[in-house]
Amino acid sequence: MFINAVIIEDEVLLASQMKILLEMQKFTVSSFNTAEDFIFCFSTFTAPTLYLIDLHLPGLSGSELVKLIRYKDKISSIFVISGDNDADEISECLKSGADDYLQKPYNPDHFMLKLVNTHNKMKVLLSTMLNVGVKLIPEANLIIRDGIKIKLTKREYGIIQQLLSKPEDIQSRENLVEAMIGNDITDRTIDVHVHSLRKKISKVKMTIETCRGQGYKVVVA
């Protein structure tokens, strides 16, 4: 399964090297030299996409571009790249929605490892979206199906994300506990959140089946 990747980098040689490594990991790659060139084509890229953005671009800066992308797209992965080690600037980018940071010159082995991990995560997300027609918006604890938006709590979102990661499988209570946020999770806590979640997702023709002695399974009509 190929995932979209977008490089926004004004160093042509570096962009070319990253493109080769990305294509080795089955990414479909587009490359732009400026933020403005990318923005002109932004609407053609669907989530999930991996964005690799140089922090110090000519014109619109990388940090400003991160904010723009994250405002429109809550589920794609964004890496910022820089030759500087400015902790404040890096922190600002991460606060704006970037997922990770790579320092130039980057270590190819380290970069490849990040690509493998990111591709695996995005492949699961894309597969889920294609199979059940559900869009996941992690930052907003939101799911969308057939144009209907369902706002969830953090714990409810953790449950539905875990169930949708492998919609054909039964998820054990242990798996759901790991997916939920907090240290006070009990069987009763899971039951309460699943009950609440069932009511909410019924609006988009989904439900959660209890598989006695095994766990839970999401069912999509």
Residue whose C-alpha is closest to residue 18's, from 101, 93, 106, 82: 106
Confidence (pLDDT) at 138: 66
Condensed to tens digits (0 to 9), the pLDDT of residues 28-37 reads 999 999 999 9
Domain span including residue 184: 133-220
Tens of pLDDT, residue by residue over 62-103, are 889 999 888 777 678 899 988 877 778 788 888 888 888 888
68 CB burial (10 A radius; 0-12, 13-18, 19+): middle
The tokens for 188 are 């009763």
Same structural domain, 158 and 74: no
Number of structural domains found in the chain: 2
List, for residues 107-126, the tens digit of each pLDDT value: 888 888 888 888 787 777 77
Q: Do 160 and 113 reside in the same domain of the chain?
A: no
Confidence of residue 182 (pLDDT cuts 50, 70, 90): low
Q: Which residues pair with residue 219 across a beta bridge?
A: 207
Q: Return the half-sphere exposure (C-beta side, CA atoms, 13 A cut-off) of residue 137.
A: 17
Question: Is there a single domain that holds both residue 11 and residue 111?
Answer: yes
Closest CA to 106 of 136, 83, 74, 85: 83
- Residue ending a domain, among 64, 98, 130, is 130
Task: Check whether residue 29 and residue 62 sit in a common domain.
Answer: yes
Same-domain check for residues 93 and 140: no
- Residue 120, Cα to own-chain centre: how many angstroms? 11
**In the predicted model, what is the mean pLDDT of residues 40-54?**
85
pTM tops 0.95, yes or no: no
φ, ψ of residue 60 in degrees (nearest 5): -60, 130
The per-residue pLDDT for 176 is 84
Distance (Å, rounded) from C-alpha 10 to C-alpha 15? 8
Looking at the DSSP bridge assignments, the partners of residue 210 are 216
Q: What is the DSSP letter of 171?
A: B
C-alpha–C-alpha distance, residues 161 and 82, integer Å = 32
